[in-house]
Amino acid sequence: MHVVRTPGISDYFSLVKINHTIFSLPFALIGFFLAVKTHEQNLNLRMLLLVVLCILFARNAAMGFNRYADRDIDIKNPRTASREIPSKVISPGAALAFVIINACLFIGTSYLLNFLCFLLSPVALIVVLGYSLTKRFTYLSHVFLGLGLSLAPIGAYLAVTARFDLLPLVYSFVVIFWVAGFDILYAMQDIDFDRSESLKSLPARLGRVNALILSAVFHVCAIILVIAGGFIGGFHLLYWIGAAIFAILLCYEHVIIKPTDISRVNLAFATMNGMASVIFAGFVIADLFFS
Q: 9-290: what fold?
A: Tetracycline Repressor; domain 2 (1.10.357)
pLDDT at 2 > cutoff 70: no
Q: What percent of the chain has pLDDT over 90?
A: 87
Mean pLDDT of the chain: 94
The pLDDT value recorded for residue 1 is 41
Contact 284, 30 (CB under 8 A): yes
Residue spans per domain, the chain:
9-290
Of the candidates 129, 152, 163, the one whose C-alpha atom is nearest the C-alpha of residue 277 is: 152
Contact 144, 95 (CB under 8 A): no
The pLDDT value recorded for residue 4 is 54
Distance CA 232, CA 72 (A): 46
Amino acid at position 30, single letter: I
The pLDDT value recorded for residue 6 is 82
What's the angle, vertex CA 64, arms to CA 62 and CA 65, rounded to 5?
65
Distance CA 212, CA 92 (A): 35
pLDDT at 242 > cutoff 90: yes
pLDDT digits (tens, 9 = 90+) for 7-32: 889 999 999 998 888 888 999 999 99
Report the range of poorest mean pLDDT among 2-6, 109-113, 144-148, 165-169.
2-6
pLDDT at 257 > cutoff 90: yes
Amino acid at position 207, single letter: G
How large is the average pLDDT for residues 230-255? 97
- Tell me the three state secondary structure of residue 261: strand
- Tell me the three state secondary structure of residue 43: coil
How large is the average pLDDT for residues 188-196? 95
**Any residues with CB less than 8 A from the CB of 103 and at least 6 apart, and which?**
57, 61, 125, 129
Distance CA 49, CA 286 (A): 19
Distance CA 212, CA 202 (A): 10
DSSP string, 186-225: HHGGGHHHHHHTT---HHHHH-HHHHHHHHHHHHHHHHHH
pLDDT digits (tens, 9 = 90+) for 127-168: 999 999 999 999 999 999 999 999 999 999 999 999 999 999
Is the pTM higher than 0.75? The answer reads yes
Q: What is the CA radius of gyration of the chain?
A: 19
pLDDT at 226 > cutoff 60: yes
**Any residues with CB less than 8 A from the CB of 89 and at least 6 apart, and which?**
5, 7, 11
Q: Phi/psi at 3 (nearest 5 deg)?
A: -105, 125
Of the candidates 136, 133, 168, the one whose C-alpha atom is nearest the C-alpha of residue 36 is: 168
Q: What percent of the chain has pLDDT over 70?
A: 98
Give the E-state strand segments of the chain in sequence order: none
